[in-house]
């Protein structure tokens, strides 16, 4: 089944669902998981230097392409450069391509805003190096991750191009945070696509009470329609609120196919959340808030 896509400002089209190789798969061999995801129907692999598993992810990509008969151009490969790579981005991108066994990247992101701290380059200088990588044809699109509106504004003020993507933590607990409100408004204004992570974690992994406001709201909304479950209501919220790309990680084939099936019903009016339902979820997340954000270290400019 064709996966809905989103068009970046660079013209590149990316699937709206990506298989992530971080979180539970961090620093582990992910060959089997990548093959499973691709065989299930995923076509977008999201990696990072920080995850310390790019070589095994590359093995999975290579294995799938050989067994499926598909071409490299049928897949989308994104990776993010971490602290070590930011000191020499030109060398880092070539090393990551070698590990992933690809001759180009569909997207290459700065994993966090360097901000000129701890010997790292400024946001603007790091971005200029990323622009060179795109110009050299090593990456079709470039972007950032965990950046705030103030970080992106530095690029715009310097006359640089806007990022194609900003991958951020995205769920109802952080959606109403003041920095998110500013960030999402800026991204919409400049055509920067939101790519999410941890969108489903609040439901499956949060340590808050099971009868908390968010879970109550998800359960109540799901109960209105026998096609819905609390899990797919949360996925649908993320798709509609982000208007971008959802990243998810699983080792279960059944769960991978469930996510893809949900994406296939994007235009099903019975499953689309109303604005009132979206606001109920927003408010439930705002009422309790989160005990901790993954993005917490970057929420102060």
Report the CATH number at residue 20: 3.20.20.100
Q: Is residue 271 assigned to a domain? A: yes
pLDDT at 207: 45
Give residue 270's pLDDT band: very low, low, confident or very high (50, 70, 90): confident
Quick check: is 2 in a domain? no
Q: Does 91 reside within a domain?
A: yes
Say how far apart CA 259 and CA 92 lie, in whole Å. 32
Quote the number of domains for the chain.
1
Q: How far apart are CA 213 and CA 90, in angstroms?
A: 47
Q: What letter does residue 10 receive in the DSSP assignment? A: T
The more confidently predicted of residues 23 and 92 is 92
Q: Is the CB of residue 78 less than 8 Å from the CB of residue 111?
A: no
Mean pLDDT of 262-278: 82
pLDDT for res 201: 61
**Tokens encoding 119:** 């010997």
The parent domain of residue 177 ranges over 15-287
Phi-psi region for residue 105, left (φ > 0), alpha (ψ -120 to 50) or beta? beta
pTM: 0.94
- pLDDT of 134-169, one tens digit each? 999 999 999 999 999 999 999 999 999 999 999 999
Region 26-34 average pLDDT: 91
Mean pLDDT of the chain: 91
Express as a percent the part of the chain with pLDDT over 70.
94
**Domain contains 295:** no
Q: Which residue has the tokens 């920095």?
A: 179
pLDDT digits (tens, 9 = 90+) for 193-245: 999 998 876 544 544 556 678 889 999 999 998 888 888 899 899 999 999 99
| Residue 1: inside a domain | no
Q: State the pLDDT at residue 267.
A: 65
Please list the alpha-helical segments (H only) found in the chain.
31-40, 54-68, 83-86, 89-100, 123-135, 149-157, 172-175, 178-190, 201-204, 213-222, 230-242, 253-264, 275-288
Q: Taking residues 115-140, report their average pLDDT.
A: 97
Is 51 noted as a catalytic residue in this protein? yes
Query: Average of pLDDT values for 237-258?
Result: 91
Q: What is the mean pLDDT of residues 1-18?
A: 91
Active-site option among 26, 51, 108, 175: 51
Residue 275: is it exposed, middle or buried by C-beta count within 10 angstroms (0-12/13-18/19+)? exposed
The reply to whether 300 falls in a domain is no
Mode of pairing for the β-strands spanning 5-7 and 13-15? antiparallel
Is the model's pLDDT at 91 over the cut of 70? Answer: yes
CA 245/CA 239 separation, integer angstroms: 7
- The answer to whether position 297 is within a domain reads no
- Percent of the chain exceeding pLDDT 90 equals 72
Looking at the domain assignment, is residue 239 inside a domain? yes
CA neighbor of 191 nearest in space, from 162, 232, 215: 162
């Amino acid at each position: 089944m064709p996966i809905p896509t989103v068009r970046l400002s660079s013209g590149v089209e990316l699937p709206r669902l990506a298989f992530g190789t971080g979180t539970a798969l961090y620093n582990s061999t992910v060959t089997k998981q990548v093959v499973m995801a691709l065989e299930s129907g995923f076509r977008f692999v999201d990696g990072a230097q920080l995850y310390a598993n790019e070589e095994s992810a590359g093995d999975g990509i290579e294995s799938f392409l050989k067994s499926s008969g598909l071409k490299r151009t049928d897949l989308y490969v994104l990776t993010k450069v971490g602290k070590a790579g930011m000191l020499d981005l030109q060398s880092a991108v070539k090393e990551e391509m070698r590990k992933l066994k690809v001759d180009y990247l569909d997207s290459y992101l700065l994993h966090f805003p360097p901000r000129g701290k701890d010997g790292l380059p400024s946001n603007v200088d790091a971005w200029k190096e990323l622009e060179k990588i795109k110009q050299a044809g090593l990456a079709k699109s470039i972007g950032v991750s965990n950046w705030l509106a103030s970080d992106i504004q530095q690029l715009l003020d310097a006359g640089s191009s806007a990022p194609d993507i900003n991958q951020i933590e995205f769920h109802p607990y952080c959606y109403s945070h003041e920095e998110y409100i500013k960030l999402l408004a800026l991204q919409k204004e400049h055509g920067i696509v939101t790519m999410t992570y941890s969108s489903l974690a609040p439901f499956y992994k949060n340590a808050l009470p099971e009868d908390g406001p968010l879970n109550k709201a998800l359960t109540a909304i799901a109960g209105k329609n026998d096609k819905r479950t609390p899990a797919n209501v949360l996925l649908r919220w993320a798709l509609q609120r982000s208007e971008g790309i959802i990243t998810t990680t699983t080792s279960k084939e059944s769960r991978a196919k469930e996510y893809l099936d949900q994406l296939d019903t994007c235009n099903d009016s019975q499953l689309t959340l109303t604005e009132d339902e979206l606001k109920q979820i927003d408010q439930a997340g705002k009422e309790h808030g989160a005990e901790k954000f993954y993005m917490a270290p970057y929420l102060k400019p």
